Chain A
Amino acid sequence: MAKNENLGKFVTPAGLEVPPPPHFNKPKSKYTVFNFVNGIIFVLVCLLILIPIWKVLIDSLDLTTGYGMKLLPTQFGLDGYLSIFTNQSLLQPLWVSIYTTVAGTFIGLLLSTMGAYVLIQWDMPGRTFFANLLLFTMIFSGGMIPSYLVMRAVGLTDNPLGPILLPAINVYNLVLMRNFFEGIPKSLFESADLDGCTPMGMFWRIALPLSKAALASIGLMFAVAYWNDYTNFKLYITNRNLYNFQMKLRDMMQSSDLPEAVGSATENTIRNACIITAILPFMVLYPFLQKYFVKGINIGAVKE
C-alpha cells in the first residue's frame, strides 16, 4: 500500500517528496489550450481569405441588388453568366485571353528549356558570356518608355503578338529550368553522345522527358502570368477588339458601360460574374495541381 501512495510522485531515495521537474508530466494530449486557440486562429484566417471571394461568388448568382451582408443569394439565377456567354463583346476578350495564354505558354516553355539546355553545356565556348547576357537583363532595363518605343517600331503595338512574345522570354523561369537540368546526371548525356546522339536529340530524348515535373510547374507559372496579364495589354494594346479578359474586366469595373444584360441580371450581377469567370480556370485546376504550383517556388529559392 505504501508503494501505491507514492505512485506519480517524486520521492528521493531518502524518502523526501520533491516537486516534479518542469518538463515531466506535461500533458501529452492533443487537446491543449494552445492547439485549440491555434485551430481557431486558422479558421479565422481561412475565413478572412474566403469571405471576399465568397461574397463575389454569391453576388454573381444573385439577381437582386441591395443588401451587402448575406451568406446565400436571395434570388438565385445564372443570368449573370448567361449575359457573359451570349455577349460578343465579352466572349471576344475571353477568346483573346485563351489564345494568348496557350500560345504564350508554349513559346515561353520552348525558349526557357532551349536556353536552359544551352546554359548547362559547361565546356561550350561563350557559355559564360551567354549566361551573363541573360542575367544582366535581370538587374537593368531600358524602362517603360524605351520598351514602348521599340515595341512600336517593330510593329508589336496593337498586335496580339506583342503580349504573346514579350513575356515569353523570362530569364527567371529560364534560370529555374537550368537549375533543374543541372540535376540530371551528366553520364546520361555522355553515353548518348558516344552513341552518336545529336545535341537536339539529347534535348528531346533525355533532358525533356526527365523534367516533366519542372515543365509542369514552369508551364503553370507561364500560364498564370499570361492569363492574368494586364500591364502588357495596357501598355501595348489600344484597340478594344484585342483586349483580353483582364482589360475588359477593368474597363467594366470603372465605367457603367456594361454589356446588355440577359434576363434579370443587374449591373452588379454581371460585374461579379465577370470576376468569377476571370478566376475560374485556375480555381478549378488549382486543387489538383497545387504541388506543381508550389514546386516552382521551391526549385529556385530554397534548394541551394
Chain B
Amino acid sequence: MASTTSNGTIQVKKKPLLQRMQKYWGFYLMFIPVLVFVAVFHYAPMFGIRYAFYSWKIIGDPVWVGLANFEKLFRQSQFTTSFWNTIVFSVVKLLLNTGMAVIISLLLNEMISLKFKKLSQTIIYLPHFMSWVVTASVFSLLLSPSENGLVNQLLIRMGLIDKGIYYLADKQQWRVWYYIINVWRETGWQTIIFMATLTGIDPGIYEAASIDGAGRWQKMWYVTFPALGNTIITVLILNLAKIMNLFESVFVLQNDSVRRATNVLQTYVYYQTFNSGASADYGYTTAVGLFRSLVGLALMLICNYASKKVRGRGIV
C-alpha cells in the first residue's frame, strides 16, 4: 500500500477499516459467545444500578427517592459496622497471611532434605482446595462445645477450662478464630508465589556473601529478604484491590448470635435483601452494593497506580 507523493516521500497507507475487518471475520465470530456472556452477566447488572435511587419492595413498582437511600445508609449503625468490618477483617487477614507466608517460605527455603520439603509443600497447599463450606464445617466440629470438640477437650484435659466454650458464638472469640482459620487455609497457598521468587535468586549472590563472611542469618537478612521485598509489595497491592469482595468466608462462619457484630458489606446486603421477608427494600440494598462497588473501584485505581509506580505495570 505504499505510494509516492509529489514531493517524493513514501507514505504507507492503511487499508480501509472494512477491508481490514473482513480479514478477521472468523475472529469476530469466535468472540461473540464471550461478548454475550460478558453482556448478560457483567454489563446488564450495571444497568440495575439505577434502582439505588428508587425504593422498591419487589412487589409493585419502584418509587423514585433520589439520594434518600444513601442518606439512610449512613444513618444505619448496621451499615457502618459492616463497612468497618469489611476493611478490618480484610486488612488484618491480608497482613497475617502474607506475614506468615513469608516466614514459612524463608524457612522452607532453608530446608535441607528435598523430600521433606516437597512433602511439606504438598501438605500446606492442601487446605486451599477445600471449599469455605467444608472449612467452616470442619472447624465448627473442631471448636464445638460438645464433648466431641477437639479444642475444648484438649483445653479441659490441660486443666485450662472447666467446660466447653462455644467459640464461634462469642463475637470477640469469633474474630480471633476467623483469622486463625484464614491463616490455616491460605498461608500455604500464598507461599507458592514467594517460593517462586526465592528459587529465582542467583546462587552466586549467596556464594559471594559466604566468601565475604556472611552467616546464615546475615544472608537471609541481606540477600533473601530484599529479594522478597518486591514480591511482598506486589502481593499486598493485588489483594488490597480486592478487599471489598469479602463474602463467602464470613458468611459460612457466621451464626445467629454473632451475625450483627460480624457482618461485612456483602453479608449485610444479603441478609437485608433475602432474609428480611416482605420489608426487604431492593433499592436500599442496591445502594449499599453501589457504595461497595465504588469504594472497590477507588481501591482498584489507587492500587493500580501504586503498582505502576512500584513494578512498572498495572494490575489490570
Instruction: Spell out A's residues near B (CB within 8 Å).
Output: 21-23, 26, 30, 34-35, 38-39, 41-42, 45-46, 48-53, 55-56, 59, 65-69, 110-111, 114-115, 117-118, 121, 123-126, 130, 133-135, 137-150, 154, 165-166, 168-169, 171, 174, 198-200, 203, 224, 227-231, 234-235, 246-247, 249-250, 253, 268, 271-272, 275, 278-279, 282-283, 286-287, 290, 293-294, 297-298, 301-302, 304
Stretch from B4-12, B28-36, B72-80, B90-98 forming part of the interface with A = B28-36
**Contacting pair A230 B131 (CB below 8 A):** yes
Main secondary structure of the interface of A (DSSP, over half): helix
Hey, which chain A residues are within 8 Å of B248, CB to CB?
230-231
Hey, which chain B residues are within 8 Å of A51, CB to CB?
150
Stretch from B81-89, B141-149, B169-177, B221-229 forming part of the interface with A = B141-149
**Contacting pair A143 B120 (CB below 8 A):** no
CB distance from A18 to the nearest CB of B (A): 15
**Contacting pair A125 B20 (CB below 8 A):** yes
CB distance from B154 to the nearest CB of A (A): 7
**Contacting pair B42 A143 (CB below 8 A):** no
Bound-state CA distance A118–B29 (Å) is 10
Asked whether B161 is an interface residue with its Cβ less than 8 Å from the other chain, the reply is no
Instruction: Spell out B's residues near A (CB within 8 Å).
Output: 17, 20-21, 24, 26-28, 30-31, 33-35, 37-38, 40-49, 51, 104, 107-108, 110-113, 116, 119-120, 122-127, 129-134, 136-142, 147-150, 152-154, 157, 184, 188-189, 192-193, 196-197, 210-216, 231, 234, 238, 247-248, 251-252, 266, 269-270, 273, 282, 285-286, 289-290, 292-293, 296-297, 300-301, 311, 313, 316
Within 8 Å by CB of A52, from B138, B289, B316, lies: B138
Hey, which chain A residues are within 8 Å of B292, CB to CB?
143
Within 8 Å by CB of B154, from A69, A124, A247, lies: A69
Within 8 Å by CB of A68, from B108, B123, B147, lies: B147
**Contacting pair B40 A154 (CB below 8 A):** yes
**Contacting pair B188 A143 (CB below 8 A):** no
CB distance from A235 to the nearest CB of B (A): 8
**Contacting pair A48 B184 (CB below 8 A):** yes
**Contacting pair B293 A142 (CB below 8 A):** yes
Within 8 Å by CB of B26, from A50, A141, A200, A249, lies: A200
A-B contact pairs, 23 of them (CB 8 A): A22-B215, A34-B216, A46-B119, A50-B123, A52-B184, A55-B150, A67-B153, A68-B147, A68-B150, A114-B33, A115-B34, A118-B34, A137-B42, A139-B316, A146-B45, A169-B41, A199-B24, A230-B248, A231-B248, A250-B137, A253-B136, A279-B134, A301-B238
A114-B34, A302-B193 given; A22·B21 CB < 8 A: no
5 A-B pairs besides A52-B138, A133-B38, A228-B133 with CB distance below 8 A are A66-B147, A69-B157, A139-B296, A275-B141, A297-B192
Bound-state CA distance A133–B33 (Å) is 14
**Contacting pair B37 A169 (CB below 8 A):** yes
**Contacting pair B188 A49 (CB below 8 A):** yes
A114-B33, A249-B134 given; A125·B21 CB < 8 A: yes
Q: Which of B110, B134, B136, B273 has the most CB of A within 10 A?
A: B134
Within 8 Å by CB of B120, from A42, A199, A224, lies: A42
Within 8 Å by CB of A297, from B44, B130, B193, lies: B193
Within 8 Å by CB of A144, from B28, B266, B316, lies: B266
**Contacting pair B49 A146 (CB below 8 A):** yes
Hey, which chain B residues are within 8 Å of A302, CB to CB?
193, 196-197, 231
Closest to B45 in A: A142
Hey, which chain A residues are within 8 Å of B138, CB to CB?
52-53, 55-56, 275
**Contacting pair B131 A227 (CB below 8 A):** yes
Bound-state CA distance A272–B139 (Å) is 11
**Contacting pair A169 B38 (CB below 8 A):** yes
CB distance from A90 to the nearest CB of B (A): 15
Closest to A224 in B: B129
Hey, which chain B residues are within 8 Å of A224, CB to CB?
129
Bound-state CA distance A158–B301 (Å) is 36
Within 8 Å by CB of A111, from B34, B238, B285, B289, lies: B34
CB distance from B161 to the nearest CB of A (A): 14
Within 8 Å by CB of A42, from B108, B147, B189, lies: B108
Return the 5 tightest CB-CB contacts between A and B, nearest first: A146-B48, A143-B289, A142-B45, A228-B131, A199-B26
**Contacting pair A115 B31 (CB below 8 A):** yes
Bound-state CA distance A229–B46 (Å) is 23
A166-B41, A294-B125 given; A38·B107 CB < 8 A: yes
Hey, which chain B residues are within 8 Å of A283, CB to CB?
126, 129
Hey, which chain B residues are within 8 Å of A123, CB to CB?
20
Hey, which chain B residues are within 8 Å of A66, CB to CB?
147-148
**Contacting pair B290 A143 (CB below 8 A):** yes
Closest to B30 in A: A114
Hey, which chain B residues are within 8 Å of A52, CB to CB?
138-139, 142, 150, 184
Bound-state CA distance A203–B189 (Å) is 33
**Contacting pair B193 A114 (CB below 8 A):** no
CB distance from B251 to the nearest CB of A (A): 8
**Contacting pair B33 A45 (CB below 8 A):** no
